[in-house]
Structure 1
Amino acid sequence: MNALQLLPVMVVGLAGSVHCIGMCGGIVGALSVSSAPLPRNVIPIAVIAHSSALPRVLSYNVGRIASYMAAGALAGGLAGGARSIASLAGLQLGFYWLANLMLVALGLYLMDAWRGLAVLEQGGRVLWRRAQPVIAPMMKSLMPATHPHQAFALGLLWGWLPCGMVYSVLLTAMLSGSASDGAAVMLAFGLGTLPMLTGLGLIGARLQRALQQRRVRIACGLLVLAFGVLGLARAAGGIAPDWMDTLCLTPHQ
């Protein structure tokens, strides 16, 4: 998988991170204020408006992206192993359709036009709640996260939080066909989310308010939706020029 094929994954991460802002924006100052409570079922992401916060904010995001890469490697490795046992051409095409349908759903979700993706997130939260007896003590032991290594550990945990947007891109990681390519897909996605979440960590509520404006969400949703529609058009055989290799998240193998 080359850099051009990873570019649209990064763009989807950038556009889709307005969802991260909405999901996490109410958690403020937890990495710098020792008295900040740990919210139930979530991990704080550090909204700190001074330069000393940067190492912790970056460490948190490095941990989060590392978890994405681990999930991508797992998804890509499992699919690659299965392909070595049996021919999965038809199944792969089915997942190609599903991956791009998920992008369409994500675009509509970002625009608040259809909330179907929230059902998938809710299913993931059921599993997350079952893991709480193990994870909650780990979170508390890391708080307050006054050092970069603590923020990194929080990011590692946060990266596994149920998220429909992450699930959408994990399908692309699975279709990559190998652990290394799956990790690369999720790295590109994580780097796409980095500007928004780093900005949230340093600027906080001002950025949150700006990115939650309806016109911003609609613009980002339309961009993600366009990637999904193009992918579906290619899968249907309607359009397949060379430039589609740059714009489709899951190019044919």
Structure 2
Amino acid sequence: MPSADFSFLAAFLIGLAGAGHCFGMCGGIASTLSMGTQSKSLITKVAIQLLYNIGRIISYAFFAFILTYFFSLSFELYSALSSPIRTFAGIILILTGLYLIGLNKWILRIEAIGKHIWKFVSPAAKSILPINTPKKALMAGFLWGWLPCGLAYSSLLWVSSTGEPMKALWLMVGFGLGTLPAMLLTGIFALQFKAVWVKFKLDILSGIFLVVFGIWTIPAGHHGMHHEMDHGQMDHGQMDHGQMDHGQMDH
């Protein structure tokens, strides 16, 4: 697997594994969407939730395309930044995983950096409250895609290191779709979803996945694991020592 060969499935699984983090970061927003509409119809509430999340996924894809396009403008810039970007993305994924497991809270410090950007966006986001129409739900999703989120940050950096804007866009759609089940369940069945998540300790399983994938994302970790796999697959028994010309070996 080449170092920059990222799959749609991997992006989807990152989003899926981050469900616990999504619950903490965006659960409150998702819940208020259901309360914002005057309709008691489940279909209407689901439609509002779905449009909000479509707007959020569009926001992720848009940022991924712009960021990757910026890096792709210069081959020298991309070559210089590709490895550091992947390393930083891997570190954020690891910290997010450790946070879900309950071992470390450093990811909250990184997410706090995003608050400086959010303070410029939040007035526009708040101006469309209450979210009681499909149009407002779609707009809210796009604006709240700017919320400080380590999982989204790492994914944006991860896909941007491909250097291919359209591929990065598609991968972030995969990431967004991975977060969709958790966001929909949080918005419609908040208490029930949280109870199930805690009961089966899904935070720990998700955290372990993110830590492992974070290590794989870091170039040094990826190549180290790849080297060990390649070395382990060498069949030394099939080496024909008889064909080795020991006379030409430089002792």
TM-score over 0.5 for the alignment?
yes
Do 2:51 and 2:137's aligned partners in 1 also have CA atoms closer than 8 Å? yes
The superposition leaves residues 108-134 of structure 1 with CA deviations (integer Å, 9 ceiling, x where unpaired) of 1221211111111111113322x15xx
1:208 corresponding residue in structure 2 = 194
Seen in structure 2, the aligned counterparts of structure 1 residues 29 and 169 have a Cα distance that, compared at 3 Å, is closer
> Are residues 238 and 231 of structure 1, via their aligned partners in 2, closer, same or farther at CA, if it must alter by over 3 Å?
farther
Instruction: Show structure 2 runs of 5+ residues with no match.
Output: 231-251
Q: Given the superposition, is the C-alpha separation of residues 89 and 187 from structure 1 closer, same or farther in structure 2, using an over 3 Å criterion?
A: same
Q: Tell me how far apart the structure 2 counterparts of residues 158 and 229 of structure 1 sit (CA, whole Å).
A: 29
Letter in 2 for 1:144: P
| Corresponding position of 1:39 | none
Structure 1 partner of 2:203: 217
Number of residue equivalences = 224
The answer to whether 1:20 aligns with 2:45 is: no
| Structure 2 CA distance for partners of 1:12 and 1:59, relative to 1, 3 Å | same
**CA distance in structure 2 between the partners assigned to 1:34 and 1:61 by the alignment:** 15
TM superposition outliers: structure 1 runs of 4+ over 6 Å: 1-4
**Residues 172, 185 of structure 1: 8 Å contact kept:** no
User: Which ranges of structure 1 fall in alignment gaps of 5 or more residues?
Assistant: 37-47, 242-253
In the TM superposition, residue 240 of structure 1 has moved relative to its aligned partner by 5.9
For residues 161-176 of structure 1, the aligned pairs below 5 Å read 161-176=147-162
Percent identity for Structure 1 against Structure 2: 29
Displacement of 1:235 in angstroms is 3.1
The structure carrying a bigger helix percent of its residues is: 2
Residue 227 of structure 2: SS of its match in structure 1?
A: coil
Q: 2:227 aligns with which of 224, 234, 238?
A: 238
For residues 30 and 12 of structure 2, the distance between their equivalents in structure 1, rounded to whole angstroms, comes to 26
Alpha-carbon distance in 2 for matches of 1:74, 1:52 = 33
**Equivalent residues of 1:10, 1:189 under 8 A apart:** yes
Q: Which residue of 1 aligns with 2:32?
A: 30
Deviations 1:31-81, CA, capped at 9 Å, x for gaps: 344599xxxxxxxxxxx8823211111100000000000110111111111
Give the distance between the partners of 1:3 and 1:190, measured in 2 at CA: 19
Which residue of 92, 108, 115 corresponds with 2:82? 92
Residue 60 of structure 2 is aligned with which of 51, 65, 68? 68
Give, in whole Å, the separation in 2 of the partners of 1:28 and 1:173. Answer: 26
**Structure 2: which amino acid aligns with 1:234?**
H
- Residue in 1 that maps onto 2:212: 226
Distance change >3 Å, CA 3–CA 52, structure 1 → 2: farther
Q: Which amino acid aligns with 2:18?
A: G
Counterpart CA distance in 1 for 2:28 and 2:86 is: 35
TM-score (norm: length of structure 2): 0.79
| Structure 1 residues 71 and 88, CA gap change in structure 2 (3 angstroms) | closer
* 1:128-162 CA-partner distances (Å, limit 9, x unpaired): 22x15xx42x3344222222111111101110111
